[in-house]
Chains A and B, each alone.
Chain A
């Protein structure tokens, strides 16, 4: 909370973004304290890692200082205070924190907790709800992520590099020669990060983890590589059109699992149709679906990052053409 207030006061956007990273990490520890390990995992990797990085790239393009002028701060403060007190008034009817009798715990949650072991056979209830009971929701969310990635691509995608020699950017040289220790240590870490991503991907059934987190961690390793060796090297390693295809493949894989169960005479995303034994079918279904999620999330994050960085290196060239 203190951090949030500091964000309001700060004018230097770089400091604001750093504070936002700290704030995300703190809220991740909140989530651990409230027994939501999966969520904390995601928040730590997304909030403290990827979003901070993206914001940094953006402010490196748009400038880091903020104008002091604000429009009508008093009016804004009044609106905020009124809304806040109304909301606080509304909380007076809410169940107490941590009470087991709250209505939220009476509806579907007991079924998930008591029966999911027989029905799905996966110890991590979050995974079984995510990938099996509510697979349709998750499918929708994957499609949203895919669409957002396509939107970024449409907004920022640069004209194919006709003059790639110009693209040997600032990232390249500054990192390459100067920070020897940083470079070697990071290079040693990258394989472990990738390995960890795969562990998270396939161990999601038993512990905290799953496709979403694994995708983000995998993308973080690629980001690190890009920052280390520069955009043009990373582009050579990871083909852009290949990664775009992967993103689509992930969504397709997810969707086709649903279609296969439909063709086998069950409902959409009813995985028990996938194998003779229902529980084995569920295992297979969850594995495939999480794989689809992981592929999509990782490739969309990489697409977003590449386009931001590619854009950052290009305005110079655009101005040459324009004027």
Chain B
């Protein structure tokens, strides 16, 4: 019975893995990797909602009655490209932090900031 919900559980586990990386790791690049795992889990969530048993991809053709829901596909398609653009922005910030502090570990940056104060 409950097994019909397994797609959501996969999503939750992936999301939590990404979340754990973001809060537990000090390395900024690793944090960005964690964020992108989190992001992908949301994509999988949307796409799995759009899925219908026995349906095909939403490209109209003769003799096919059931299509999966095209709306989430549109939202996620653009979200992926926006995601890479924002990831690039995050990476750019990381590079600048590395140049300014000589490190991308959170605790070392914190230490240097404390010294400055």
Contacts from A to B (Cβ < 8 Å):
1, 4-5, 7-8, 13, 16-17, 20, 23-24, 27, 30-31, 34-39, 42-43, 46-47, 50-51, 54-55, 58-59, 61-63, 66-67, 69-73, 76-77, 79-81, 83-84, 87-88, 91-92, 94, 96-100, 102, 104-105, 108-109, 112-113, 116-117, 123-126, 129-130, 134, 137-138, 141, 144-145, 148-149, 151-152, 155-156, 206-208, 210, 212, 215-216, 297, 300-301, 304, 307-308, 311, 315, 318
List residues of chain A with CB within 8 A of the CB of B76. Answer: 36, 39
List residues of chain B with CB within 8 A of the CB of A210. Answer: 77
Q: Chain B 81-112, CB within 8 Å of chain A: the 1/0 string?
A: 11111111101111110110000111100000
If A35-B56, A125-B58 are given as contacts, then 10 extra A-B residue pairs at C-beta distance below 8 Å, sorted by A number, are A1-B10, A13-B27, A35-B55, A54-B87, A59-B29, A70-B26, A129-B71, A151-B92, A155-B96, A308-B95
Tell me the complex Cα distance, A23–B38, Å.
12
Q: Is the CB of B70 within 8 A of A62?
A: no
Q: Is the CB of A50 within 8 A of B20?
A: no
List residues of chain A with CB within 8 A of the CB of B61. Answer: 123
Tell me the complex Cα distance, A132–B80, Å.
19
Q: How far is the CB of B47 from chain A (nearest CB, A)?
A: 5
**Contact A62 to B69, CB < 8 A, known contacts A91-B9, A152-B88:** no
Q: Is the CB of B29 within 8 A of A13?
A: yes
Q: How far is the CB of B23 from chain A (nearest CB, A)?
A: 5
Pick the most buried of A58, A144, A215: most chain B CB atoms within 10 A of its CB. A58
Give the bracket for the number of chain B residues in contact with chain A: 35 or more
Q: Is the CB of A34 within 8 A of B14?
A: no
Q: Is the CB of A54 within 8 A of B88?
A: yes
The one of A13, A79, A145 that contacts B30, using a Cβ cutoff of 8 Å:
A13
Q: Nearest B residue to A31 by beta-carbon distance?
A: B47
Instruction: Write 29 A-B pairs (CB below 8 A) sorted by A numbering.
Output: A1-B14, A20-B37, A35-B68, A43-B40, A62-B104, A63-B104, A67-B107, A70-B24, A70-B26, A71-B107, A77-B24, A88-B8, A91-B5, A91-B9, A97-B6, A98-B51, A100-B55, A108-B71, A113-B70, A130-B77, A141-B78, A141-B81, A141-B82, A144-B85, A145-B82, A145-B85, A149-B88, A216-B81, A311-B95
Q: Is the CB of B20 within 8 A of A87?
A: no
Q: How far is the CB of A318 from chain B (nearest CB, A)?
A: 8
Instruction: Report the number of A-B residue pairs with Cβ-Cβ less than 8 Å.
Output: 276
Contacts from B to A (Cβ < 8 Å):
2, 4-10, 12-21, 23-27, 29-30, 32-33, 36-37, 40, 43-44, 47-53, 55-61, 66-74, 76-89, 91-96, 98-99, 104-107
List residues of chain A with CB within 8 A of the CB of B14. Answer: 1, 4
List residues of chain A with CB within 8 A of the CB of B20. Answer: 8, 76-77, 80
Q: How far is the CB of B97 from chain A (nearest CB, A)?
A: 9
Q: Is the CB of B57 within 8 A of A8?
A: no
Chain A to chain B: the 5 pairs with minimum beta-carbon distance, closest first: A96-B4, A148-B85, A91-B8, A76-B24, A98-B53
Tell me the complex Cα distance, A109–B49, Å.
13
Q: Is the CB of B24 within 8 A of A84?
A: no
List residues of chain A with CB within 8 A of the CB of B84. Answer: 46-47, 50-51, 54, 216, 301
Tell me the complex Cα distance, A70–B22, Å.
11
Q: Is the CB of B24 within 8 A of A71?
A: yes
Tell me the complex Cα distance, A129–B19, Å.
32
Q: Is the CB of A38 within 8 A of B73?
A: yes
